[in-house]
Amino acid sequence: MKINDLVAAVKAHALAHYEDGGWDVVVETYDDAEIAKVISKARTVRGAIANFADVVDVYAEREADAESYRDDEYPADQMDSYHNANTDAYGSPTDY
């Protein structure tokens, strides 16, 4: 299979799985050349997608860590009061 076809397949997969783990990072930050570099040794669509497994897993882990930290630091039931206490009349942050 041609590399351009594999790149297109990875992009389609990433878009279809945008909300799953770290695929959003692939959609938002990888251009065709960068995708081609990651999948350069792949010969099938399955192999090309598998080549991104480690990359996507790292971003998924980072997202989960950030979400966990945010949930621990700012519990949902306290977010409104936190937001109201730390923004000005225009909604701009005041705690920076």
pTM of this prediction?
0.65
Question: How far is the C-alpha of 61 from the C-alpha of 58, rounded, in Å?
Answer: 5
Query: Exposed (0-12), middle (13-18) or buried (19+): which is 90, by Cβ within 10 Å?
Result: exposed
pLDDT attached to residue 6 = 97
Q: Phi then psi for 93, rounded to 5 degrees? A: -65, 145
pLDDT digits (tens), the chain, 96 positions:
899 999 999 999 999 999 887 888 899 999 999 999 999 999 999 999 999 888 888 876 777 666 666 555 555 555 555 555 666 666 666 655
pLDDT attached to residue 83 = 52
